[in-house]
Amino acid sequence: MAMADNNTADVIVVGSGIAGLSAAATAAQGGARVILLERAPREDRGGNTRWTEAFMRMKSEDEVTDDFEAHFMANAGHHLDPSLVQEMAGDFESRSGIAKTLGMTDPDVISRFADKAGPTLQWLKSFGVKFDFLPSYLITTCTTRLAPIGGGLALVEALSDWVEDNDVDVRYETSARGLIHDEDGAVVGVISSGKVNKTSDLLAPSVILACGGFEGNSEMMVHYLGGQARYLRPVARGGYYNKGEGIRMALAAGAAPSGDYSRFHAEPLDPRSGEPEPIVLIFNYGVLVNAKAERFVDEAPATVDATYEAITRDIHEQPQSIAYAVFDARIEDVPNWRRAVRSDVPPFEASTLAGLAEQMGVDATSLQRTMEAYNTACPEDDGSFKPLEVDGLATAQDYVPPKSNWARRIETAPYMAFPIMCGNCFTFGGLKVDPDARVLNTDGEAIPGLYAAGETMGIYYGTYTGATSVLRGAVFGRIAGEGAALRRND
C-alpha cells in the first residue's frame, strides 16, 4: 500500500535504476518516508540496469577481485600534480579543498566501494536475488565476474516490488528539474515535472540523485564529447532516459565535477540491430577495417574483455564512426564464437572478398589490397593458434598496425563481416562524492542534504574498470540511503 500522496518526505530519490532502488529501499528500511521519482513509465523502470546482465567484478559473494582497487587506481586520472596525489594518501578530512575535488578517482571512495561490495550482495540476496558465476558473452577473460541470476532485470523487479509494497511513494513519468535550497544553502527538495510539463515542489531534508549520466541527451553529448558524438547512441533503451539533469542541477548548485567528461563506457555494437546491447566481441579473431577498407588498430593486444573499450573508441574515431570485422570460414575454429555476438542480424557473407566488399559498401580493390598485405604479414599456420588464451600468434614486426595475437590469414571462403559502431553504455562525467556518497562542492565541502550514486557520481577515468557499474550503483545507493535516513531527525 502506497503512502498518502503529498509533496513532503524524509528522502527524495531521483531515478529507479539499481542505485535509486537501493537508495530508496535502504532509506525505507531505516524508517524514512521516501518519494522515488522515475522519468520512464512503469514498464521501462530500472534505467540501464534493466537491460544489462549486471556482471560484477567479484571473486565470491563476499569479496571483490584481487585486481579491483588496482585497476581503478591505474585509471585514476591523467598527468596529475604529484604533490596533490601525495596529499590524497592522508585522511580525507585533513585534505585541502583542492585535493578533495581533484579530477581523479578518490582512493578512499574506491576503498569504501570494495569494503561494502560483499555486504551489499548479501543485502540484495535478502530480496530473493541469487548470484552465480554465469557464462558471459566474453569467450576469453582476464578476471572473474559474478552475476545475478536473471541479470539486471532480476535486481530491478525484486527491489521495485519491495519498494512498492513498503510504502515508498513511487512516481513514474516524473522527472526532477531542479534543486530547492534553504537560506543556508542546504538542499531541501526538488522541483519535479510530470505530464504536460506540470511542476511541483517536493520537500525533504535529503535528496539522492541516482538518475544516470547524459548518454540520452544529444546536446550534452556533443557539448562534452564533440561533434563525433552524433554517431553515438545508447547501448540499450534505458540510456535514452538519462538526460543529465541530475548532473546539471547539482553543478548549478556548486557541486564539484568528477569523472572523465570526455569519455564514456564504449561497447562494440552492430548498428543494424535494435536489440538491447547488440554487441560483437569477436573482432580479435579477425581483421577490423574502416570505411576505406583499411586496417587501423591492433585487434588483439590482449584478451577482448581487457581491450574492447579502447578498440571501440578507435572505431569511433574512424570515418563515419564505423568499422567492419572481417572473417573467413575458419572462425568456426573458435568454440562458441556465436556466444560473443548478440546482434539479431546475420553477418554479411560472400564467396569472394569482392562480393563481401559490395555488401559492406567499401571499395573491393582496397579491401583486397588490405587483406593481401595482412595475409602476407601473418605467420605460417603451424597449429599454434589457441583461441581460448592469449597465444602470441602475431604478424611480422615491420607490419603496421600489428596484430599481437590470433593472427591467421583470411583466405578461406566463405567470407563474412559484421559492421561495428561505438555504443555508449554510460557517460563517465558526474559529480564528486565523498566515501559517504555526499556530493562535494567546488571547495571540497559536503553540500548539506545532497547525495549521488550510480552513473550520476563520477569515478571513472580513461578505461572503465569492467563489471563495476551495477555494483557501484548498489553499493553507493545503499550508502546514500543509510546517510539520508539518519538525517531525517536532524
Backbone φ and ψ of 31, nearest 5°: 95, 5
User: b vs e for 400-426, b when ≥16 Cβ sit within 10 Å of the residue's Cβ?
Assistant: eebbbbbbbbbeeeebbbbbbbbbbbb
Helix (H) or strand (E) holding 357: helix 353-360
b/e 194-209 (16+ beta carbons within 10 angstroms → b): eeeeeeeebbbbbbbb
Residue finishing a domain among 423, 443, 467: 423
3-state secondary structure of 272: coil
For residue 5, the SS3 value is coil
The answer to whether residue 407 is domain-embedded is yes
Look at residue 185 and tell me if it is in a domain: yes
Do 270 and 167 lie in one domain? The reply is no
- Same domain (yes/no): 290, 417: yes
Is pLDDT above 50 for 3? no
Task: Cell numbers for 425, please give them.
Answer: 553504455
pLDDT of 258 strictly over 80: yes
Query: What is the domain-level CATH number for residue 288?
Result: 3.90.700.10
Same domain assignment for residues 59 and 146: yes
pLDDT given at position 5: 53
Alpha-carbon span 342 to 171, nearest angstrom: 33
- Indicate if 229 and 294 belong to the same structural domain: no
Could you say which of 392, 423, 454 is where a domain stops? 423
Residue 46 near residue 17 (C-beta atoms within 8 A): yes
Where does a domain end: 423, 452, 476? 423
Reduced to 3 states, what is the DSSP secondary structure of residue 150? Answer: coil
Tell me: do 257 and 270 sit in the same domain: no
- Relative to beta strand 169-172, strand 34-38 is parallel
Does some domain include residue 294?
yes
Contact 230, 36 (CB under 8 A): no
Which residues touch 197 (CB under 8 Å, ≥6 apart)? none
Residues 115 and 154 in one domain: yes
Q: Could you tell me the CATH number of the domain that includes residue 87? A: 3.50.50.60
Cell 548498428 found at: 271
Strand partners, 451: 208, 438
Residue 11 scores a pLDDT above 70: yes
Whether 244 and 271 map to the same domain: the answer is no
Burial class (CB in 10 A: 0-12, 13-18, 19+), 323: buried
Judge contact between 417 and 327, C-beta under 8 A.
yes
Q: What is the DSSP letter of 317?
A: T
Give the 3-state secondary structure of residue 180. strand
What is the C-alpha to C-alpha distance for residues 402 and 379, in angstroms, rounded to an integer? 12
Tens-place pLDDT, residues 66-123: 999 999 999 999 999 999 999 998 888 899 999 999 999 999 999 999 999 999 999 9
CA-wise closest residue to 314 among 234, 372, 228, 397: 228
Chain segment 435-458, per-residue pLDDT in tens: 999 999 999 999 999 999 999 999
pLDDT beyond 90 at 141 = no
Phi-psi category of residue 46: left, alpha or beta, with phi > 0 → left and psi -120 to 50 → alpha? left
Cβ(179)–Cβ(450) below 8 Å: yes
Q: Which of 35, 26, 10 is nearest to 127 (CA)?
A: 26
Cis link prior to 414 (omega < 30° from 0)? yes
Say if residue 432's pLDDT is above 70.
yes
Q: Which of 139, 137, 143, 138 is nearest to 387 (CA)?
A: 139
Q: Is residue 232 part of a domain?
A: yes
Does 95 map to a domain? yes
Q: Do residues 105 and 239 share a domain? A: yes
Q: What is the mean pLDDT of the chain?
A: 96
116 with 21, same domain: the answer is yes
Mean pLDDT of 458-469: 96
Which pLDDT does position 460 carry in this prediction? 98
Q: What is the number of structural domains in the chain?
A: 2
SS3 347: coil
Q: Any idea which residue has 512498492 for its cell?
A: 164
**Upstream peptide bond of 401 is cis (omega within 30 degrees of 0):** yes
Q: What pLDDT score was predicted for residue 4?
A: 43
Do residues 36 and 137 share a domain? yes
Ramachandran quadrant class, 128 (left: phi over 0; alpha: psi -120 to 50; beta: rest): left
State whether residue 67 is helix, strand or coil: coil
User: Is pLDDT of 1 > 70?
Assistant: no
Q: Is residue 224 part of a domain?
A: yes
Asked if the model's pLDDT at residue 394 lies above 80, the reply is yes
d(CA 28, CA 206): 13
Q: Which three cell numbers stand for residue 209?
A: 540523485
Same domain assignment for residues 366 and 256: no
Domain that holds residue 322: 266-423
Q: What is the pLDDT of residues 145-190, one digit of tens each?
A: 999 999 999 999 999 999 999 999 999 999 999 999 999 999 999 9
| Grid coordinates given for 199 | 511542476
Look-up: residue for cell 548532473? 247
Distance between CA atoms of residues 214 and 431, nearest Å: 12
Q: Does residue 5 form part of some domain?
A: no
Task: With both helix axes pointing from N to C terminus, report the angle between 469-486 and 18-29 in degrees, rounded to the nearest 10.
Answer: 30
pLDDT band at 239 (very low <50, low <70, confident <90, very high): very high
The overall longest dimension of the chain from CA atoms, in Å, is 76
User: Are 344 and 400 part of one and the same domain?
Assistant: yes
Tell me which amino acid residue 336 is: N
Domain annotation covers residue 3:
no
62 CB burial (10 A radius; 0-12, 13-18, 19+): exposed
Residue with cell 550534452: 220
